[in-house]
Amino acid sequence: MRTLKYNGEKYYYDERSLWKRCRQWLIWIGGWERANGKGWKFLIDYGYKKGLMSPAPISVFGNFFTWFSWGWQIKLAHLHRYLVWSKSGLYISSDGTPPRSDKEHTQGFYIIKGRR
């Protein structure tokens, strides 16, 4: 299946099969799976040894819930916001990044602020 898509900068063709698109919507293991759906990579080569790569990020249900190695986020689609738990605390943000201290560019707010 070939679909013309726009990623915000340029147009490209998404050539993943319908099966891969459905499976990646259900669960996407971003640390091991290539974003274009063309294969998997489990090992990382350090030169002197090989190790298992982290599977993070892992997204389920079309990025509704995403687990990162540093925390997780839930997409609040009806509010166009994200609920994020990370080292900096629990917060709601419009783009998933922590709220900034300056009032001029506030992207969200903390529910529980972590210790740093």
- Tell me the average pLDDT across 18-42: 88
Contact (CB, 8 A) for 56 and 67: yes
Give residue-wise pLDDT tens across range 49-74.
Answer: 999 999 999 999 999 999 999 999 99
Residue 53 is classified by DSSP as P
Give yes or no for a cis peptide into 98 (omega within 30° of 0): no
CA distance 16 to 23: 11
Contact (CB, 8 A) for 96 and 63: no
CA atoms within 13 A of residue 103's CA, in its CB half-sphere: 0
Q: How confident is the model at residue 106 (pLDDT cuts 50, 70, 90)?
A: low
